[in-house]
Amino acid sequence: MANALKARTALGAHDPLQVMVGALVVTERFDVALASVAARRGRMGDLAKAAETIGLPLPEAARHASGEVYAAFWTAPEMWLVEAPFASHELIAEVLKQALGDAASVTEQTDAWVAFDLLAPDLAPLLERLCNVDFPAVVVGYATRTMVEHLGCYLIKHGRGTARLYGPRSSAKSLLHALEAAAHSAW
C-alpha cells in the first residue's frame, strides 16, 4: 500500500504546474526542501562555525545567498530559511539538526510553503501590482517578506526578470490566481 502513495504538489497535482500569462511564466517548484534555522541565545558564533563546515550560507538582512548544496535567505535576526534539493534532502530538518547541533533550533518547513518561480523579461510591471517591493531598485539576491493579496510571502530577486515567491501552502491556489490576474493587467 505504501508504494501506491504519491505526494501531491501544493496545487493538488502529481506534477508541478507551469502557467504562462502574457510575458510571465509561473513554475511551481516541488523539488525544494525547506527548513527554518534559528541561532539559540548566545550561540551565533557556534552556529556560524557549524554552518561553514557544511557550506550553509547565513546571509545578512534582506539577502539570499547560495552555496554548493544549500541556499538560504534571512527572515529575522539570527534566523534563516534554508533551501536544498528535495531529492537529496527530503529530511532537511534532520540533516541540519545533526550538522548544526545544539547551536540552532531547526524546524521542517517544506510542506508549509508553496514556491513559485517567476520568469518574464521584466518582473516590475507584475510585482508593482502585487506588493510594495520596488523590484527594479533592489539588487540581485535581495530577499524580503511582503504581502501579496493579503498573504504573507517571501520574495527573492534572482535577476531583473527572475524571482522566487514563497507563499502559504494552504493558499497556493489563491496566490497563483493573484499572479495570473496581475499578469493579465501587466501585459
Instruction: Return the C-alpha torsion angle 16, 178, 174, 24, nearest 10.
Output: 0
Q: Do 59 and 73 touch, CB atoms closer than 8 A?
A: yes
**pLDDT confidence of residue 136:** 97
- Are residue 37 and residue 101 in the same domain, yes or no? yes
- Are residue 100 and residue 148 in the same domain, yes or no? no
**pLDDT confidence of residue 3:** 62
- Are residue 87 and residue 148 in the same domain, yes or no? no
- Are residue 177 and residue 151 in the same domain, yes or no? yes
**pLDDT confidence of residue 67:** 97
- Three-state SS string over 12-49 comes to CCCCCCEEEECCEEEEEECCEEEEEEEECCCCHHHHHH
Question: Does residue 175 belong to any structural domain of this protein?
Answer: yes
Per the structure, the count of domains in the chain is 2
Show which of 111, 129, 162 is a domain's final residue.
111
- Are residue 106 and residue 118 in the same domain, yes or no? no
Question: Does residue 36 belong to any structural domain of this protein?
Answer: yes
Here the CATH number for the domain that contains residue 155 is 3.30.1360.120
Question: Does residue 8 belong to any structural domain of this protein?
Answer: no
- Are residue 182 and residue 117 in the same domain, yes or no? yes
Range of the domain at 58: 32-111
Show which of 62, 92, 111 is a domain's final residue.
111
**pLDDT confidence of residue 6:** 83
Tell me how long the chain is: 187
Specify burial of residue 26 (Cβ count, 10 A radius: 0-12, 13-18, 19+): buried
List, in sequence order, every beta strand (DSSP E) within the chain. 18-21, 24-29, 32-39, 64-66, 71-76, 79-85, 104-108, 113-119, 143-148, 151-159, 162-168
Residue with cell 502557467: 19
Question: Does residue 101 belong to any structural domain of this protein?
Answer: yes
Identify the CA nearest to 158 among candidates 80, 55, 54, 83.
83
Tell me how far apart the alpha carbons of residues 21 and 24 are, in angstroms, rounded to a whole number: 5
- Are residue 107 and residue 40 in the same domain, yes or no? yes
Specify burial of residue 111 (Cβ count, 10 A radius: 0-12, 13-18, 19+): exposed
Residue with cell 547541533: 101
Show which of 55, 78, 111 is a domain's final residue.
111
pLDDT in 10s for each residue of the chain, 187 residues = 556 778 899 999 999 999 999 999 999 999 999 999 999 999 999 999 999 999 999 999 999 999 999 999 999 999 999 999 999 999 999 999 999 999 999 999 999 999 999 999 999 999 999 999 999 999 999 999 999 999 999 999 999 999 999 999 999 999 999 999 999 999 8
Handedness of CA 179, 180, 186, 187 (dihedral sign): positive
Q: Decide the pairing of beta strands 71-76 and 64-66.
A: antiparallel
**What nine digits make up the cell of 42?**
548566545
Question: Does residue 3 belong to any structural domain of this protein?
Answer: no
- Are residue 179 and residue 116 in the same domain, yes or no? yes
